[in-house]
Chains A and B, each alone.
Chain A
Amino acid sequence: MATSEEIVEAYGEWQVRCNANPRLAKMLRGWDRRVHLVTSDSGLTFTIAVSGSVLADIVPGSEGVPDVVVTASSEDFADMFWGDLNPSEKYVSGDIVLAGSSEDVMRLDAMSMVAFLDR
């Protein structure tokens, strides 16, 4: 089980990579969202936000009304933010559960794929 600190650290890496990627900045244009992350094993919650193509810092707890809710194990969150896990595969297998639109699913997956695989 990943700790809150591990998830925050992993997100920090992800945030830097995503914010430094000019292609991702184009992809996230107009996609301003508040996302709640919920760990299914440890009951932790976090809030992240995308505004003006920029990922804000992660905030522990559920803040405000979310546009998207992502539920996964703490290990999967940490692995995903480090780029060691294919979120699409985990989504299809049901290990990552999303409440949001199909566009939200695409953008979240695009962030991982473009930031780490540069496809």
Chain B
Amino acid sequence: MGLRTATSTSTGLAFAALQYLAAAGLVTYVAGDSAWISIGVAGLLALVAWGFFGELNGMFPTAAAIRRYMSGAMDDRVALSVTFTYLTTIVLVVAADAFIVGAALTRALGVPSGLTALWTAVLLALAVMSNLRGVKVAGWVQDIATALVLAATIVVSVVALARSGHPLVTPLNPLGGHGTNLVESIALGVFLYSAFEWVTTNAEEVRRPEHVHRAMLLAVIILFGACALMTTALGHVLSRGQLLSATPQLYLGSKAFGGAGIWLMAAVTAVTAVNTFNGGFVTASRFMYATAREGSLPPLFSRLNDRAVPWVPVLALGIASFVLAVVVQVVGGAGWQVLVAVGATLEAMIYAVAAFCVLRLRARMPDHHRPFRVRVVMPLAGVGIAVFGTLALVSSVTVANRLNPAPLVVIAVVGAASGWYVVSVVPKLRAAEEARRAARTRRRPSRPAGGTAGPS
């Protein structure tokens, strides 16, 4: 994997269909045309997170990095609980993307909204089947998909702005207007960059180790440009009702190119799923497989099919994503808004955890090789923990610019379930695994007495 594919992977993973909804939601939090400022501030915060992930990825350039740096920095049970909770972000994004693509197809085709669940099921079934068959999107396909999505979004945004016929009203006044919530808009802005760090799981595939680090930086810059332009256009040409709908990107397409624009953006929304489903399913299922192999998930999760794919995790992810997507549809508008808030909270939380890990590992592993080091780490990590912690807290109790503890409740339930599982179930699983190992006879012949071999 070269720098280009690493960059498109990082950008593509972040630029999911949920991006459009989060960007439109962000616009309602600040004074219309000024939303790009929140995205800029969030981009600066993402750069701080980039520094943390860069240092951690440099220390542990492996797909298992998250397990390594977390268990190195904190108690293994806490690390595992946090990791399981973070894993829900992947299910959440896959579910949200399936629902949003389904909603976009429903609207573009002009069919009853009840069919959204059908599209969602079909999309997830396709994703599950292709994963089970070991189909992996080639790097060049990923490059093209990401470039198409970004180019179409930028062109549609520019044309919609140009055709609006009136100038920007408040491009430099994020605090003006009724109901302004700058902190929450920045938290949502951070969510627009979320998952750019997932490319670190490809650390073993890159041609040169520094590619992952550079790719993440380029992705943050590209995401800032595309998202700033998109939010400005969304805020400028759409009504509040359109912004809070499940398909704001289709309204934007319509403003730019009429009926053709709706189809264009529906197609673009579908293309975003290529990266999300590919990256999400592969990352999460392989993680679950490795966790089962080390004895922290039931052995069932390490079963492989004839294509060496861990089929139980893939199936479980598909089913969990479908159930979540249906719940979102049944609950209606508030459903995906809660989903966005949960995603924003978890992402801010994991950035705070990354800051903590950097700080802790500097003390615990001072001599570990660090190809990239965060400068002035003490104040920066301290600020990172405080800022991302605050953003996580704010976004966990805010939905669509109103006080609503639903995201906090969802995260608390998932976190508690993860914690209970790690404390109560994992020790039993590990004990059973140890017993199985002890029952196996060692196959390797013992060396003759006194015959310890040295290097040959």
Contacts and interface: CB of A to CB of B under 8 A. Distances in A.
Determine chain B's interface SS by DSSP, over half rule: loop
B444 A10 contact: yes
Nearest to A5: B456
B290 A88 contact: yes
B136 interface: yes
B286 A102 contact: yes
Contact of A119 (B201, B204, B294, B303): B303
A118 to B, nearest CB: 11
A28 B294 CA distance: 23
Interface stretch (B50-58, B59-67, B212-220, B245-253): B59-67
A45 to B, nearest CB: 12
Interface string B300-313: 00111011111000
B454 interface: yes
Interface of A: 1-6, 10, 13, 23, 26-28, 31, 41-44, 74, 78-79, 82-84, 86, 88-89, 91-94, 97-103, 105-107, 109-110, 113-114, 119
A83 B443 contact: yes
B294 A88 contact: yes
B399 to A, nearest CB: 36
B442 interface: yes
A13 B293 contact: no
19 contacts: A2-B453, A3-B453, A3-B456, A26-B306, A42-B455, A42-B456, A89-B294, A89-B295, A91-B62, A91-B64, A94-B64, A101-B204, A102-B63, A103-B308, A105-B63, A105-B204, A105-B286, A109-B293, A119-B299
A23 B308 CA distance: 10
A32 B309 CA distance: 17
Contacts of B204: 98-102, 105
A1 B455 contact: yes
A13 B456 contact: no
A44 B294 contact: no
A100 B205 CA distance: 5
A6 B443 contact: no
Interface in B240-290: 282, 286, 289-290
Given A82-B444, A86-B294, A119-B299, A6 B286 contact: no
Contacts of B202: 102
B278 to A, nearest CB: 11
A82 B456 CA distance: 20
A88 B293 contact: yes
B68 interface: yes
Contact of B293 (A44, A89, A97, A100): A89
Contact of A78 (B64, B309, B444): B444
Q: What 3 pairs between A and B have smallest CB-CB spacing?
A: A88-B293, A82-B444, A42-B455
A7 B367 CA distance: 31
Contact of A27 (B62, B302, B304, B442): B304
Interface of B: 60, 62-64, 67-68, 134, 136, 201-202, 204-205, 282, 286, 289-290, 293-295, 299, 302-304, 306-310, 442-444, 453-456
B64 A110 contact: no
A103 B453 CA distance: 35
A92 B444 contact: no
Given A42-B455, A119-B302, 5 more contacts: A98-B62, A101-B205, A102-B205, A106-B309, A110-B304
Contacts of B293: 86, 88-89, 92, 109, 113
Contact of B453 (A1, A10, A101): A1
Contacts of A41: 455
A1 B294 CA distance: 24
Nearest to A80: B444
A27 B205 CA distance: 21
A13 B443 CA distance: 10
B318 to A, nearest CB: 18
The CB with the most chain A CB atoms within 10 A, among B60, B282, B294, is that of: B294
Nearest to A104: B204
Contacts of B64: 91-92, 94
B67 A110 contact: no
A92 B304 contact: no
Contact of A110 (B201, B290, B308): B308
A72 B302 CA distance: 23
The CB with the most chain B CB atoms within 10 A, among A28, A99, A106, is that of: A106
A100 B64 CA distance: 13
Contact of A102 (B282, B453, B456): B282
Contact of B302 (A97, A99, A105, A113): A113
Contact of A92 (B68, B136, B306, B443): B68
B453 A6 contact: yes
B447 to A, nearest CB: 8
Contact of A44 (B136, B308, B309, B455): B455
